Structure 1
């Protein structure tokens, strides 16, 4: 299999496509490490515990209607999870282009970041907000 270069990611937040404003995305699917070391052991032993997920996206800020700020700002004050979908390319979901899909809560939103003469790049961090966690649908 060839090494993959990310150039055309699909990013949707609360059913709003923001791919044209994103330039970095990280999808994390984690499990807690549960210590199961018993008396007499000479090394620590662990097993997997509960799952957790996080999607972090870096956007170029845009204050226009229906764009980055208008989509994200209402979510920072909400405790209702919204659908977050990321795909490696803008093509349809498939076995070779699976989605990372999660009901997420926006936990971090730095609405303005940058210096003089720089493009304002902001970060949005979504934590898992539902029991199903992160799924990888192909259709």
Structure 2
């Protein structure tokens, strides 16, 4: 991956993290961070299948949502029968990206419903490692300008 592309992904991750930090409920204090994520899943006998997309270059992408309504809308438009939105915490999301979705090189943050599937997934792509940095607590040093940890 080129240095310029990695830099763009890091900048996008910073923007998403800052957006999450400054979200405010109506008339309230800042939420601090989004405590849960939403995935599109389908329950199979004895296991759970997670919805992923494939980009034109063959890269697998995991769509991750910040709100249930967005995940439900996406599942209703692109999921086949049986797909539904599922709330997941940071720990489970790390497990999903390390287990059943370990082949996903990219994460798509809140892909819009009103575009074609591939276009929707490409709107807000972030590399999986860059996405995981703040969740695992490794992402603050480069954000603060101190170099990498």
Coarse TM-score class (shorter-chain normalised): under 0.3
Q: Which has the higher strand share?
A: 1
State the TM-score, normalizing by the size of structure 1: 0.23
